[in-house]
Amino acid sequence: MLIVMKPGTPEEEIQKIVSFIKSKGFDAHISVGEINTVIGAVGGKTIDRRDIELMDSVQEVIKITSSYKLSSRAFQKEDTVIKIKEELVGANKLTIIAGPCAVESFDQLESVAKNLSECGVKFLRGGAFKPRTSPYSFQGLGEEGLKYLRQVADKYNMSVVSEVMDISQIPMLLKYVDVFQVGARNMQNFILLRELGYINRPVLLKRGLSATVEELLMSAEYIMSGGNRDIILCERGIRTFETATRNTLDISAIPVIKKLSHLPIIVDPSHGTGLRDKVAPMSRAAVAAGADGITVEVHSCPEEALCDGAQSLYPGQFEKLYDELRRIAPVLGRSL
């Protein structure tokens, strides 16, 4: 249930309502909009909405029929903008996250980060804990990889994006990582999502391999219900009958999500296609469709990559793509 307060309602009136709904067993989440403050009442059992509707400071009470509430546009009309260091995710400027699939060594990371930072990239990605389909594939360098990420990112004034696979890793990742990535395979690891709701660090939530948009938003809701509102959604392709590409990148998910949710949405054309030569066209399509950015795999020597080499761009290809996006962005009222 959403309680829309009359414009200009004083804070103590808002707190009165918060106390009232809490006394009925609900959690209260406040969204301060340009005109109205909205209180989201979630989790409780029953409440007679007329008791609230009749309060002087209340403009209207809206029942939310969707199962996601805090992540919905109904709760918050304005787009969520997340500040990470000097960068704003979800604002006018596109967010570009780039780097290797996995951190393999300090030198490998350093060399690619240098190229990326020269282009203007502010977010360095790289997995230190890799969710590999086979237990015999490279599993990542663990904490050593996180140290390299932090060192290299600091050298080039970038933020670190890296995947968390399990709640036990959270305290360690908090020391090194600016954005916690939740991979497709963990999108419905509800225990992990709940824990991430309690940390004060943005989360990049990737769509599950066979997840609907609604399920993705429900997973965001898990995190938000714990108090963490800084969530970046990521469309990374879904399983379909098509085999020409690794996954089928669901470009239509971008406008669908933009309508349903206020959260920023970026696109991963690397896992979305699995093929290097498809990455640039799908990145351009993502930006044209209104995505807030992309996350893309880049490797100085993809044929030697320990993970996802076929979908990793050469630095030169990335540079060209970056330049194309810089030129496309203004057509859509954005910048890069």
Q: Nearer to Mn ion by C-beta: 90 or 140?
A: 140
Q: Nearer to ligand PEP by C-beta: 40 or 140?
A: 140
Interface residue with ligand PEP among 206, 262, 278, 334 (CB under 6 A) is 206
Sole window of 20-28, 52-60, 181-189, 285-293 interacting with ligand PEP (rule: CB under 6 A): 181-189
157: left (phi over 0), alpha (psi -120 to 50) or beta: left
Instruction: Report the partner that residue 184 touches, choosing among Mn ion, ligand PEP, none (CB closer than 5 to 8 A by kind).
Output: ligand PEP
Q: Nearer to Mn ion by C-beta: 101 or 158?
A: 101
Q: Least distance to ligand PEP from the beta carbon of 6, Å?
A: 44
Burial class (CB in 10 A: 0-12, 13-18, 19+), 74: buried
Interface residue with Mn ion among 18, 101, 213, 223 (CB under 5 A) is 101
Q: Least distance to Mn ion from the beta carbon of 181, Å?
A: 11
Is 131 one of the binding residues for ligand PEP (CB under 6 A)? Answer: yes
Is 308 one of the binding residues for Mn ion (CB under 5 A)? Answer: yes
Size of the site for Mn ion (CB under 5 A): 2
Kindly list the residues in this chain that would bind ligand PEP in the complex (CB under 6 A). Answer: 101, 127, 131, 183-185, 206, 236, 268, 271
Binding residues for Mn ion, rule: CB under 5 A, are 101, 308
